[in-house]
């Protein structure tokens, strides 16, 4: 099994910054893509940013130029640097990863979520 543990959420004023971290642990052979999703009240979960194992990144249009995703493969950790935050960024942010276990079973895993609240 693979576990994802997020940290770094909180309350920030509009225009401020936060950095989210997500560390993967467990019986990991390899981690493929890692990413961040978010879900605001009453809305569907949406992709925020994705980073492939080779470093290629993909962002939602709403966060381009403000958020930066990165990963440390040695630590099995993915980060999301969020700058110029807006009230509409308020949501629960979830870490997601596709991983291959040591018994070569591929699966997609979710973290427990971390709340990000941006006040106007």
Q: Which pLDDT belongs to residue 69?
A: 98
The pairs formed by 101-108 with CB atoms below 8 angstroms and a separation of 24 or more are 101/1, 101/2, 101/26, 101/27, 101/28, 101/29, 102/27, 102/28, 102/29, 103/27, 104/29, 106/32, 107/2
Enumerate residue ranges in the chain where pLDDT < 50.
none
Q: Which pLDDT belongs to residue 1?
A: 85
**Count of alpha carbons within 13 angstroms of residue 50, beta-carbon side:** 12
Give ∠ CA 112-117-120 in degrees, rounded to 5. 170
Q: Which two tokens stand for residue 94?
A: 């979830």
> What confidence tens digit (pLDDT) does each residue in 68-103 have?
999 999 999 999 999 999 999 999 999 999 999 999
């Amino acid at each position: 099994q693979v576990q994802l543990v997020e940290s770094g959420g909180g309350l920030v004023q509009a225009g401020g910054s936060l950095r989210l971290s997500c560390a993967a642990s467990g019986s990991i052979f390899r981690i493929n893509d890692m990413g961040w999703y978010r879900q605001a009240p009453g809305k569907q979960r949406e992709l925020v940013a994705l980073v492939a194992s080779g470093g290629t990144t993909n962002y939602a249009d709403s966060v381009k130029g403000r958020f930066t995703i990165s990963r440390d493969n040695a630590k099995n950790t993915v980060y999301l640097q969020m700058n110029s935050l807006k009230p509409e960024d308020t949501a629960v942010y979830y870490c997601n990863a596709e991983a291959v276990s040591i018994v070569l079973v591929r699966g997609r895993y979710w973290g427990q979520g971390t709340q990000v609240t941006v006040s106007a």
